[in-house]
Amino acid sequence: MRPISAPVPATRFRRMRRSAALRALAQETYLAVGDLIWPVFVRDGVDVVEPIASMPGVNRLSVDRVVKAAEEAAGLGIPAICLFPYTDPALKTEGCEEAWNPDNIANRAIRAIKAAVPEMAVMTDIALDPYNINGHDGYVRDGIILNDETIEALVKMALVQAECGADILGPSDMMDGRIGAIRQALESAGHRDVAILSYAAKYASAFYGPFRDAVGASGALKGDKKTYQMNPANGDEALRLVERDLREGADMVMVKPGMPYLDICRRVKDAFGAPTYAYQVSGEYAMIRGAALNGWVDGDKVMMESLMCFKRAGCDGILTYFAPDVARKLRAGWV
């Protein structure tokens, strides 16, 4: 139903903007700490805090430091942390065997966080690129990304992560059929309560550059990912992918990147009503942080406004590197 407004002076929209109290009464969308998932990068070592040059303020952390980050997140009320591994290049192979090693860096971090902060939901990444000498999310043969063979590896990866205590699995690879295969394997292995947050509409975007630096995949990547990630020009395809993943057993779905694809977030939420998330990806973060550091924008205000936009577009939550900063602002009463 289209809202009806009388002409001026019977209706003056500025009446409800006149004071902070009136603006609060008329506010349609709210951002809360419970909307946040904090992506963190984990690497080998002890007491390591390694800055990532292309993501100012974001670091690679050793497992002990990741545990401290999880404790910080829990203290701020952030409900979930998402782990991305920086794998020693010596462990990267064409077979990607390190991906399902129970003692790889990501799986050690899962166990450590769940032991120290059991109430924290731990989300993981399921894709082969951190372990692949070719830098791709799937197996490569003669320059072709193999779909079905990759799924077999992803299933092994998912089962090990579930056994290590992961609460949410995040298949980010975009192979066709991987959600159904992972869900069936989880059910068969008794991991019925492990949730899947599918990267259902993941675009072949130029906004991922700093992330690839962070996980050490930039130099390894040969070619591009356009044969398995989505064409940025397509919108209807995103709805078909989301519907497929929900039918295959995804509990939640994600649109990635975030702000350049707010129209897709809204369409997904309106079409399916399923828990819908967006990832404010590394390039988005770097642009905001970089502009703020140069004094070109008010960093706090742009940060908060950007996340409010996700909520207004229908997102139930956001993966953002700003999560701790946002949580602190909200706890301090930011409006």
Q: For the residues of 148-208, what is the DSSP string, one character each?
A: HHHHHHHHHHHHHHHHHT-SEEEE-S--TTHHHHHHHHHHHTT-TT-EEEEEEEEB--GGG
Helix, coil or strand: residue 25: helix
Q: Are 252 and 182 in contact (CB under 8 A)?
A: no
Residue 183 CA to residue 206 CA, distance in Å, equals 30
Catalytic-labelled residue, pool 114, 202, 311, 329? 202
Catalytic-role residue among 225, 256, 269, 329: 256
Q: What are phi and psi of 246, to 5 degrees?
A: -65, -40
Which helix (H) or strand (E) segment holds residue 18: the answer is none
Q: Identify whether 114 is a catalytic site residue.
A: no
Is-catalytic flag, 202?
yes
Q: Which tokens sit at 228?
A: 């398995």
Residues with Cβ < 8 Å from 313, sequence gap 6 or more?
Answer: 262, 263, 265, 266, 269, 278
Length of the chain: 335
Q: At what angle do helices 147-164 and 105-116 cross, to 10 degrees?
A: 30
Q: How far apart are CA 36 and CA 125, in angstroms?
A: 17
List Cα–Cα distances, 166 to 93, 123, 304, in angstroms.
Answer: 24, 6, 29
What's the CA angle centered on 75, arms 70 and 76, to 5 degrees?
95
Strand partners, 61: 42, 49
Question: Which residues belong to the active site?
Answer: 202, 256
